[in-house]
Structure 1
Amino acid sequence: MSTRLDLVADETSSPLAGYIALTDTANGIAVRQSPDAWMFPNVDLTIHLYRQPTGRWVGLDTTVIFGPTGQGLTSTILHDVSGPIGQAQQVLTVRPQRIVEVARPE
């Protein structure tokens, strides 16, 4: 994936900042439960790069695991156009969505 949007309107982002901005989307790439029934937001994001990304494209090779106590982990191998460049880890909190009945006006 890539984006032409800057992090701050009318401010040019560095290639690294643009790459990192898209890394956070990894948590929604490989879902284990329906987002309509479950919430699984990440509570942190840790990124380890062993080289600078080249180009505007971000590749995400992502796996997700949920543990039995409401926690999970999104693990991603990060890629650019030349191949792998590092990893990202996101700890998740896993909870069922609460259905709220809304009274409809007659």
Structure 2
Amino acid sequence: MASPKRFEFPIAKAEYLFNRATEPGQGGDKRKFWRDVMGFESPEAIRETILAEVSLEILQPQSQNEQGELYRAYIQVTGVSGLSRRIRTIWIVLFDEDVARFVTAVPDRLGGL
């Protein structure tokens, strides 16, 4: 697998977490979790919090698809609400690149770290 050297997390991806509502049974309501449960008030705050907790050292190889190598990293996030949750982040390193690009972040169902 490729060895990423840095992270890339476009604000559009954080806006997706902050604003995206899905139909029941379609992957959960991202907006409800990040806004209502965790208490974040902006996509920028979500992005900053995730980037502050993730590091290249905790990336774990997950799989490969037609675009590149997928990695996951588990981080502990404390929201504005005071609630602390273990979050699974997913990153992709495109073939022939060394940048871990943010894909998504979801609460980990297994509990705390």
TM-score scaled by length of structure 2: 0.30
TM-score scaled by length of structure 1: 0.31
Which is richer in helix?
2
